[in-house]
A and B are shown apart, each in its own frame.
Chain A
Amino acid sequence: MGQTMAQKILARGAGVDSVTPGDIVEVKVDLVMTNDVTAPLSIREFQKTGLEKVFDPQKVVFVPDHFVPAKDIRSAENAKIMREFAHEQGTLYFELGRAGIEHVVLPENGLTLPGQIIIGADSHTCTYGAFNCFSTGMGSTDIAAAMATGTTWIRVPPTLKLVYTGTLPEGIGGKDLILHTIGTIGVDGGLNMALEFTGPVIDQLPQDDRIAMCNMAIEAGADTGIFPFDDITKAWLDEVTDRPYEPVYADPDAEYERVVEIDVTNLRPVVALPHLPSNTRFADEIEDMPINQVVIGSCTNGRLSDLRAAAEVIKGHKVHPMVRLIVIPGSQKVHREASKEGLDEIFMEAGAIFSTSTCGPCLGGYMGVIADGERCVSTTNRNFRGRMGHRSAEIILAGPRVAAASAVLGRVASPDQLSQVEAVVAD
């Protein structure tokens, strides 16, 4: 029987010819990652083993991003525990000024390669499946165990194959596709599975859009998402690394738990209303939903192409008087490139703030926590109750273009609605 991409990577990691969904396998890991929130606990647990050194410092990486630049004394202490351990162990470590959000930084540095197994103490570690990896989030203790042994156990997930067909309408991106997908299959539609993203639409889809999609595989309950390796991924990786890698391809007779076809032809920009990512609507269906804040950034939509898309919509407009627009590049590299292109100026000219890279408001950390009763349109990945601030606040997930249009109109709106309003004003 043929194997899916997830099975092939796990079989390779376990040193066997094939694996079957449901098997528990011990696999070698290629990279182990934690951040400032999860690292202190991982380090504490690692130290319980009595080991002096992590299994391979070049395969262990720490990224300060959640509450960094430190928002208060306790977050500074946590970042310090991580920094000192990283230096003492000589592991990979990305300091402020050379860093950003983990899931933006690791790919940029060529650390997420096809065919690899990557685990991280962060649920959005699934992002790297966009590079044909098996990458998945775990808790701090699992990560501590992997830092000690270089291995982990994984229950081989069955695979849900998603086939995207039809013609992708202009202005519809990866975020719209994944929100629509989660709206279709539900927040547990991929529970404990791997999602394989395939089909003619995917074959044409830019790498950044694939990353945004894969980032939210966890929001469908999946262990991970995986994209086929192709020239688009290769070209992206050629820019950042010359390390060798070995991609995997699904066998034609691979066995799938389920196959879901999604025709994208009639899609319009998608949003997810509170309080679940599956609560999706087309943005232009939402009538009169005033907002207080818009956040553009995060590991989902904080890449250069996202900032470009938002800037294109907002250029020449002003942020609505009742709205705060917060733009946060996903990494220092994105920040610098955006500045070189003058995107920062476009946002600031419109009345936004343009911040240094951090997770910040995405998890209600700082840099834009929302108050009781407020409503925020955000390009992040979770609209759970209390995620970005007060428990009564509402989060509406969207792509960067909808976020920009909403910031201008002061309500949830599509870019087309912004153009229509403009046309009326011009009359």
Chain B
Amino acid sequence: MQFRGRVWKFGDDIDTDVIIPARYLLTSDAEELAQYVMEDIDPGFSKKVQPGDIIVAGKNFGCGSSREHAPIAIQGAGVSCVVAKSYARIFYRNAINIGLPIIECPEAVDDAEDGDILEVDTTEGVVVNVRTGKSYDATQHSPYVQEIIKAGGLMNAVTERVKAQQAKAGA
């Protein structure tokens, strides 16, 4: 998958409480959650962010709670993908499971500035900064994770598996 979008840059250890505060967890509706995304760290972010934009962040992005509402809110806001130095494990799984493209690329994060345009190819694992013209290799997802991405998210993968088992049992 390829994306091109404006960079919104954040620091290290961005936690899920600032991505989507618990006071909004009464719904899991993407559009509703999107109105509040990043509200506690960048008030007004949801109004500024445009479809296709890219979140760029430091290490340990998405640390804290297990709320899947965090990647859902980011996706709901139209963010095309996230580029970070590293991800907290649960956020990483959640993003993959729901189909929010994420990629790990520390050098690209270091060089990117707020407002830059990035071109990201999550399949090839390449990030290009249009301002500087520099290209970066991202860390590849493990083959297991790539399978989930290919299936279109975890529940699609599981459903395929369940159907295959049922077919086998029925045969």
Report which A residues bind B (CB closer than 8 A).
24, 37-38, 40-41, 44-45, 48-51, 66-67, 72, 74-75, 78, 120-123, 125, 137-142, 144-145, 148-149, 153, 155, 187-188, 191-192, 218, 221, 223, 276, 363-365, 369, 382, 384-387, 391
A72 to B22 Cα, complex, angstroms: 14
Report which B residues bind A (CB closer than 8 A).
13, 15, 17-18, 21-23, 25-28, 39-41, 43, 59-60, 63-69, 86, 88-90, 93-94, 97-98, 142, 144, 153-155, 158-159, 161-163
Q: Distance in Å from the Cβ of A195 to the closest Cβ of chain B?
A: 13
B26 touches A382 (CB 8 A): no
Chain A residues closer than 8 Å to B162, beta-carbon distance: 49-51, 148-149
A138 touches B90 (CB 8 A): yes
A188 touches B66 (CB 8 A): no
Q: Distance in Å from the Cβ of B59 to the closest Cβ of chain A?
A: 6
B67 touches A139 (CB 8 A): yes
Given the known interface contacts A24-B142, A138-B93, the answer about A37 and B67 at a Cβ–Cβ threshold of 8 Å is yes
A122 to B93 Cα, complex, angstroms: 13
Chain B residues closer than 8 Å to A144, beta-carbon distance: 155, 158
Chain A residues closer than 8 Å to B66, beta-carbon distance: 38, 120-123, 125, 137-140
A386 to B94 Cα, complex, angstroms: 22
Across the two chains, which residue of chain B brings its CB closest to A392? B40
Q: Distance in Å from the Cβ of B149 to the closest Cβ of chain A?
A: 13
A37 touches B25 (CB 8 A): yes
B155 touches A191 (CB 8 A): no
Q: Distance in Å from the Cβ of B51 to the closest Cβ of chain A?
A: 24
Q: Distance in Å from the Cβ of B76 to the closest Cβ of chain A?
A: 13
B26 touches A137 (CB 8 A): no
Chain A residues closer than 8 Å to B163, beta-carbon distance: 50
Instruction: Jot down 9 A-B pairs with beta carbons below 8 A, ordered by A.
Output: A75-B26, A121-B66, A123-B65, A138-B90, A155-B142, A191-B89, A363-B22, A386-B17, A386-B18
B15 touches A142 (CB 8 A): no
A75 to B161 Cα, complex, angstroms: 33
A384 touches B15 (CB 8 A): yes
Q: Distance in Å from the Cβ of B11 to the closest Cβ of chain A?
A: 12
Chain A residues closer than 8 Å to B59, beta-carbon distance: 188
Q: Distance in Å from the Cβ of B69 to the closest Cβ of chain A?
A: 8
B97 touches A142 (CB 8 A): yes
Q: Distance in Å from the Cβ of A187 to the closest Cβ of chain B?
A: 6
Chain B residues closer than 8 Å to A37, beta-carbon distance: 22, 25, 67
B68 touches A41 (CB 8 A): yes
Across the two chains, which residue of chain B brings its CB closest to A41? B28
B64 touches A364 (CB 8 A): no
A141 to B158 Cα, complex, angstroms: 10
A188 touches B68 (CB 8 A): no
B93 touches A139 (CB 8 A): yes
Given the known interface contacts A38-B68, A187-B13, the answer about A49 and B60 at a Cβ–Cβ threshold of 8 Å is no
Given the known interface contacts A142-B93, A384-B15, the answer about A78 and B158 at a Cβ–Cβ threshold of 8 Å is no
Chain B residues closer than 8 Å to A386, beta-carbon distance: 17-18, 21, 40
Q: Distance in Å from the Cβ of B171 to the closest Cβ of chain A?
A: 18
A149 touches B22 (CB 8 A): no
Which of B28, B40, B43, B66 has its CB near the most chain A CB atoms (within 10 A)?
B66
Chain B residues closer than 8 Å to A191, beta-carbon distance: 60, 86, 88-89
Q: Choose among B28, B40, B155 the residue that contacts A385 (Cβ–Cβ < 8 A).
A: B40
Q: Distance in Å from the Cβ of A102 to the closest Cβ of chain B?
A: 12
